[in-house]
Amino acid sequence: MISKAQANYQRISPRKARTVANLVRGRDASDALQILEYTKKASAPILKKLIASAVANAKLKRPDVDVDALYISRASVDKGPNSHMRRWRPRAQGRATRIEKGVSHIHIELDLR
Residue 100 has pLDDT above 90, yes or no: no
Compute the average pLDDT of residues 81-93: 89
Q: What is the pLDDT of residue 83?
A: 80
3-state secondary structure of 47: helix
Determine contact, residues 42/19, Cβ cutoff 8 Å. Answer: no
Residue 97, domain extent: 3-112
Secondary element (H or E) of residue 101: none
Q: What is the pLDDT of residues 21-34, one digit of tens each?
A: 999 999 999 999 99
- pTM score above 0.75: yes
Question: Which CATH number characterizes residue 7's domain?
Answer: 3.90.470.10
As for how many domains the chain has, the answer is: 1
